[in-house]
Amino acid sequence: MRILTWERVAQALGNPSRITVFRKLAQLEARSCYSHRGHYHTLDRLAAYDKNGLWSFRGVRFSRHGTLEETIAYLVEHSQQGYFASELEALLQVRVHNALARLSAAQRLDREQLVDQYLYLSQTTGKEQLERRYEAIRQAHERGAVGRPEVPQELHESIHVLLSVLNEKQRRLYLGLESIRLGHGGDFEVARMAGVNVKTVAQGRRQLLARNVTAERIREAGVGRPALKKKPK
């Protein structure tokens, strides 16, 4: 057998105490699965790990990197573009949200919200990972735009006219609103039409979604309805 349950291991050892079983597994350098609550064990020499250090046998999943949390931390740290939770689940074939929450709370991973989900990043190379992810999304969005009707030049001009009379914060919020209206890929589409950095659009969108907007924070000094003055009697 290439994998054994805890009970089979204990039975093979003569049903000793749990401490003795743990000690024997450590001596053999046995590895617990990251699925099935760690109930199955194997030896590295019996496992056929892939390039990511992962191996699955009859639906039981093992990692050269250890536990689920350690595996996620390794994969994110050594990735080119970070990982979305959905990508990690597709790769690891288990739920990862709780593990990601613990890693984030322990400040072992950074995260950046892109549209409606978080991108998990290395704490050391996260900036470069995020830039590569932005570039990959931009290229994918451009490929998807082939054959789509071109935005009329009049609309481009109208957007630029409107942006020219808004202050910086107002522009950011307006662009964020347009991104929300467009939905998936909106950040890049709006950035392309307005000729601004996609990060500006993303920041405005995040502010709106977080309800982090007040009139005082977007109004320029001296702008708005003048204060009423009492007429002298």
User: Which ranges of the chain would DSSP assign to H, the alpha helix?
Assistant: 6-12, 18-27, 68-77, 85-92, 97-105, 126-144, 153-164, 168-182, 186-194, 198-209, 215-218
Residue range 18-72, pLDDT digits in tens? 777 677 767 777 788 999 887 788 888 888 899 999 999 988 999 999 999 999 9
Strands laid side by side in the 110-114 sheet: 83-84, 117-121, 110-114
Judge if 126 and 74 occupy the same domain. yes
**The pTM is what?**
0.61
Q: Is the pLDDT of residue 73 over 90?
A: yes
Task: Fill in the amino acid letter for 198.
Answer: V
Q: Is 231 contained in some domain?
A: no
Query: How confident is the model over 189-203, as pLDDT tens digits?
Result: 777 777 777 788 888
Report the CATH number at residue 83. 1.10.10.10
Residue 59 shares a structural domain with residue 78: no
pLDDT exceeds cutoff 80 at 81:
yes
Claim to verify: residue 75 and residue 126 sit in the same structural domain: yes
| Residue that finishes a domain, picked among 18, 38, 63 | 63
Tally of domains in the chain: 3
State the residue range of the domain holding 47.
4-63
- Asked if residue 83 has pLDDT above 90, the reply is yes
Do the bridges between strand 60-63 and strand 30-32 make them parallel or antiparallel, or are there none, so unpaired?
unpaired
Q: How far apart are CA 175 and CA 184, in angstroms?
A: 14
| Residue 223: inside a domain | no
Tell me the range of 101-105, 117-121, 151-155, 207-211 where mean pLDDT is highest.
101-105
Tell me if 228 is assigned to some domain.
no
